[in-house]
Amino acid sequence: MARTVGVLGGMGPRATVDFLQKLVELTPAERDQDHLRVVVDSNPKIPDRSRCILEGGEDPTPALVATAQNLERAGADFLVIPCNTAHHFLDSIRRAVKIPVLDITEAVARSAEGLSVVGLLATHATVVAGLYQRALGSRGCRVLVPTPQRQDLVDRAIRAVKAGQLGSQVRAWVREAGLELVASGAQALVLGCTEIPLVVDARDWTVPVLDSTALLAQAAVEEALRDERGAAMAAVAAAFGD
C-alpha cells in the first residue's frame, strides 16, 4: 500500500498548488485509485523565514513544528516542505516528529550528479543560509550565486509571484539573473525557490534547469511507492526462485 504524503505548505500558497500539480503529474496512475493519498496543511500564517534569517525577525520554528505535528496526527507517513528557505529549520522539524521529512536540497543535489558548477536562483536568505552550497558542495559541485544587483532582481521576482504577478517583467528579472550565472560558467540552473518555477520555462534555456518543486515531487512519489515497489520486486524474485 502506498504511503500517505504530508505537505507542509502555504509558503506560499501558489507554490504549494504548483507542487501538488506536479505530484499528480509525476504519479504513475491510470485511475483515481492509483494516485497517492495526500494530507495538506497550507499554512500561510507561518512567520517569514527570510526575515528571521536575515533580520532576526520572528522565529517560524514553533509554527513549522506545530504544522508538521498536525500532519503527523492526520496520518501522514512522511512530510515534504515545498519551500526552500524553510529548510533552514529542517533539523528542528525533524526532531519534533516521528516520521521522515524529505529534504528538497538533497532531491536537487541528487539530480545534479556529474555537474561541477551550477547557478542558484533562490531567496537571499537561502543563499546566505548556504543550504545548496552544503548539499551540492558535499557532492563536489560548486554553486554560483548572483551578484547583489541580480539577487535583488530575484528577490523582487519572488515577492511579485507571491503577490500573484507572473507577467513578462517578472520573468525578465529572473532571466537576467539566470543569464548572468550561465555567462559565469553555470552548467545548470537550480530553481531554489518554489515560486521561481512559476515564472521560468526550461525550454528557454540552453542549460538544464533543476526545478526544486518538481524534484521534490518526484522524491515524494518515490518515497510513497517505495514499499509497493519493494513488495513487487520481492514477489518477482520469489516467482523466479520457484
- Percentage of the chain modeled with pLDDT above 90: 93
**Are residues 76 and 60 part of one domain?**
yes
Q: Which residues span the domain enclosing 32?
A: 5-104+214-236
Q: Please name the residue that has the C-alpha cell 519493494.
A: 230
| Beta-bridge partners for 98 | none
Same domain, 92 and 75: yes
Residues 132 and 200 occupy one common structural domain: yes
- Secondary element (H or E) of residue 235: helix 212-241
Q: Is 193 a catalytic residue?
A: yes
Same domain, 127 and 9: no
Rounded-to-integer distance, Cα 170 and Cα 199, Å:
7
**Whether residue 21 is found in the same domain as residue 41:** yes
Same domain, 188 and 152: yes
Q: Which of 193, 198, 210, 224 is flagged as catalytic?
A: 193
Task: Supply the pLDDT for residue 227.
Answer: 82
User: Mind listing the pLDDT tens digit for each residue in 84-107?
Assistant: 999 999 999 999 999 999 999 999
Q: Is residue 154 part of a domain?
A: yes
3-state SS, 181-230, equals: HHHCCCCCEEECCCCHHHHCCHHHCCCCEEEHHHHHHHHHHHHHHHHHHH
Question: Is 40:7 a contact under the CB 8 Å cutoff?
Answer: yes
97 & 172 share domain? no
What is the CATH classification number for the domain harbouring 10?
3.40.50.1860
pLDDT tens digits, 162-202: 999 999 999 999 999 999 999 999 999 999 999 999 999 99
Domains identified in the chain, total number: 2
Tell me: the pLDDT tens digits for 200-218?
999 999 999 999 999 999 9
Q: Is the pLDDT of residue 238 over 50?
A: no
Q: Please check whether residue 83 is in contact with residue 101, taking contact to mean a CB–CB distance below 8 angstroms.
A: no
pLDDT value of position 191: 98
Per the prediction, the chain carries an average pLDDT of: 94
Q: Is the pLDDT of residue 239 over 50?
A: no
Cβ density class 144-181: b for 16+ within 10 Å, e for less? bbbeeebbebbbebbebbbeeeeeeebbebbbebbebb
pLDDT at 175: 98
Full-model pTM: 0.93
Amino acid at position 214, single letter:
A
**Of 83, 97, 127, 145, which is the active-site residue?**
83
- 61, 16, 55, 45: which is closest to 220 by C-alpha? 16
69, 11: one domain = yes
Whether 181 and 112 share a structural domain: yes
